Amino acid sequence: MATKVVMEALSPTMEEGRLVKWNKNEGDAVKSGESLAEVETDKAIMELVARGDGVLRKRLINEGDTAPVGQLIAVIGAADENIDALAGGGAAAPQAPAAAQEVEPGAAEQLPQEGAAPASPAPPAQERPRDARTSVPDDAAQSQGEASTPPQERDRTGAERTSTGSQGATLAIGSSEPGDRVRSSPLARKLASERGVELGTVQGSGPGGRIVKKDIEEAATRPKGAPAPAAAQGAPAPVAARRISAEGDYQDIPLTQIRKTIARRLAESIGPVPTFYLTAELDVERVAEMRDSMIELGAEYKVSFNDIVLKAVATALQQHPEVNAHWLGDKMRYFNRVHIGMAVAVEDGLITPVIFDADTKGLADISRESRELAKRARDRKLKPDEYTGATFSVSNLGMFGIEHFTAIINPPEAAILAVGGVEERVVAVDGAPAVRKRMNVTLSCDHRVIDGATGAKFLQTLRRLIENPLMLVY
């Protein structure tokens, strides 16, 4: 009996997917569990696997095409089986439930076939086991104010977000600075790794000099040591952050799945949510002293300002569950466990990995998880349960020299904290002027859940913890 291959919801928020690459051609033998295609979801590049044995009889969409969740995209059957009724119809199947099972990086679940049990939905955040782990930002942006450190060191600050970010979040500063990496598509990076091609030696032909699949295939066929094509010789190296071509009056760039999700989530937050903002200036002189002392003990004790902020926020939320909350329309949900969401900038947008039970973890654990999550996020290898389930979010733009900003709440969360840069300022200390390290933070609050006094008390506790950081290692 023929097996339908449909576009599956490979992430909890996925509504459609873009087929990046077919891994099987029509007529190829297929076994259950084998990778059929690579699909770009709103969060990552994942593999679509076969649910039946046979031959890939028909591919119904092409590489680069987008299909809604549940749409029939291919048919697997016996070599002599008549599949005209399926291949000719192409009617969309009912929308598949969001993929809830753990998906190995590079392995995806496909919509269950007829008679197969559907995947169970992802457990809500408060039902996760206490030891649930998220891989954390790899070299998440290093502490604010470390402009003199090399990019590979600055990359350690823990993922951060921008107020323009969506998913209600903010742009993560988890990625290195624009000029620190070659701009390339996820598929191009994967092909380069498989074929031993050094990205730094390839001249991109995509928008803004981006390296695409075709460039890697051409580079792989060139003899080693051979110069790049003449068109590339003498051309300036493309600026990684540059997305717009200089040719013509304008350039239209189709939306990626992640950018579509960002736009949708932004509209869901900024309009309907009645938001107010509370700003405080914190003295971080002691935080800087503690961090310097930890660095002197050895590399294994090195943490960023952002790691310390995450730990302080998690501790404060444990004391203020009324801020660690979600708005659910007909009710408010207050969490006893603290799951901190932090955004990481990826090539086409941002993603928000989560540090689960952050209030129970030490600084070393938070630092390690934040680095790991940032790396996996930039490689687009996060599993769905690693970027869902946050109870509160933190956004940090400090490494960009931003003093103060307001972040957009990520529904259904009730609040998000925006963290500015660490700067030396002249302030009054015991009645005399002194130079102290200071940092601005702004709490964005959903007024349906959090009142002004409630948010202010949370910031008071956060101030006490950050200005007396030894309380975080008690």
Q: How far apart are CA 40 and CA 23, in angstroms?
A: 14
List the one residue out of 5, 8, 220, 233 whose CA is nearest residue 98: 8
Query: Which residue out of 320, 339, 404, 447 is catalytically annotated?
Result: 447
- Where residue 158 falls (left for φ over 0; alpha for ψ -120 to 50; beta otherwise) is left
- What 8-state DSSP symbol labels residue 299? G
Structure tokens at 235: 């051309």
Task: Give every CB contact of residue 380 below 8 A, 6+ residues apart in sequence.
Answer: 43, 44, 45, 186, 346, 351
Query: Three-state SS string across 302-364, please?
Result: CCCHHHHHHHHHHHHHHHCCCCCEEECCCCEEECCCCCEEECEEECCEEECCEECCHHHCCHH
Q: Are 134 and 381 in contact (CB under 8 A)?
A: no
Sign of CA dihedral 109, 111, 115, 120: positive
Strand arrangement of the beta sheet that strand 66-68 belongs to: 45-49, 35-40, 16-22, 66-68
CA-to-CA dists, residue 267 to 42, 161, 342, 405, angstroms: 16, 17, 20, 19
Q: How far apart are CA 59 and CA 76, in angstroms?
A: 9
Regarding beta strands 66-68 and 325-327, do their DSSP bridges make them parallel or antiparallel, or are they unpaired?
A: unpaired
SS3 assignment, position 391: coil
Asked if residue 118 has a cis previous peptide bond (ω within 30° of 0), the answer is: no
Q: Is 447 a catalytic residue?
A: yes
DSSP string, 167-215: TT------SPPGGGS--B-HHHHHHHHHHT--GGG----SGGG-B-HHH
Q: How far apart are CA 88 and CA 353, in angstroms?
A: 41
CA angle 154, 155, 159 (to 5 degrees): 120
Q: How far apart are CA 448 and CA 414, in angstroms?
A: 8
- Known catalytic residues are 447
